[in-house]
Amino acid sequence: MGIQVKDLSKVVDGLLILNDINLEIDDQRIYGLIGQNDSGKTTLMRILANLRYATEGYLEIDEKDIVEDPSVVKKVYFQSQDNIYPKSAKLKHIMKWTSQCYPDFMMHVFKGLIEKYELDLNAHFHRLSIQKQMIFRSCLAFSVDTDYLLLDEPTFSLDATHRFSLYQDLQASFRRYPKTIILSTHSIDEIESLVEKVIIMEDGQVIVHDYVSKLVDEAYMIEGEDKFVRDFVKQRNIIGQIYQNGYLQVCARLTEEEVYAASDYPIDVRSLNLQELFIHITRNVNEESEALPVEKE
């Protein structure tokens, strides 16, 4: 049934953090939630986990309003970076608390992950390095067979080897118990093949919500001499641009026919990956010293 977010806004100390968010999040898909710092990603995830309340709008999980029926939140596991454990807590204590809160906590899976990453259950959580703390949090998250798994920067501070390994663990968790996973991350290039749909946020708003494959298949960079690029991109779906010394780069969404038509111009056209597309969607063109608008006729 999924998650429905309708007209959701959040104001904190007079500052608009989330602005009229509307989302339909499907069952049993892996989502990438991306955006620049302070775009509202973590606030949105906290509201989804019922750890914050919306100022306006409403949120339904499996067709139940979480304010009217907060018990539905038991279907949600939120892995955050918040400092929520007592300083005296050992890993075995946190494991016990998690298993008590989530009946579908797979103890055998958890112990397998703990062994894989060589973590000592008798160790104090607050005495671990940041890397080991992040790994332990993921070991917990990937051991809970819940319908909705929210992961806020789970690979923060991890090296490439551990990031790769945790992505494998995430996929194993999804295969074992298909669920909706919302993965917030800045490592966009690493999740392109992992997530099915992507949500891009900017300034507290959702500016893109689409299938990754569709976005990447349609995203292109058009480059060349200013006048030829401008002539080609007239009336096309332009995402962003950079102008410098008579040379123009335009990011646009093109159809196959439009890509084919580019061969009639002395310009270069190449496809973009998800990270390149994100950069051009969210970049501040006002920071480009020689940025010029692309005119449409």
Which tens digit of pLDDT belongs to each residue from 24-83? 999 999 999 999 999 999 999 999 999 999 999 989 999 999 888 988 989 999 999 888
Give residue 95's identity as a one-letter amino acid code: M
What pLDDT tens digit does each residue of the chain (297 aa) get?
A: 899 999 999 999 999 999 999 999 999 999 999 999 999 999 999 999 999 999 999 899 999 998 889 889 899 999 998 888 999 999 999 999 999 999 899 999 999 999 999 999 999 999 999 999 999 999 999 999 999 999 999 999 999 999 999 999 999 999 999 999 999 999 999 999 999 999 999 999 999 999 999 999 999 999 999 999 999 999 898 988 888 889 999 999 999 999 999 999 999 999 999 999 999 888 754 444 344 444 444
List, in order of start, the domains of the chain with CATH numbers.
3-203 (3.40.50.300), 215-287 (3.30.70)
- Integer Cα distance of 153 and 33 in angstroms: 10
CB 2 within 8 A of CB 27: yes
Task: Read off φ and ψ for residue 143, nearest 5 degrees.
Answer: -105, 0
Q: Which residue has the tokens 């940041």?
A: 130
Query: What's the rounded Cα separation, in Å, for the pair 6 and 26?
Result: 14
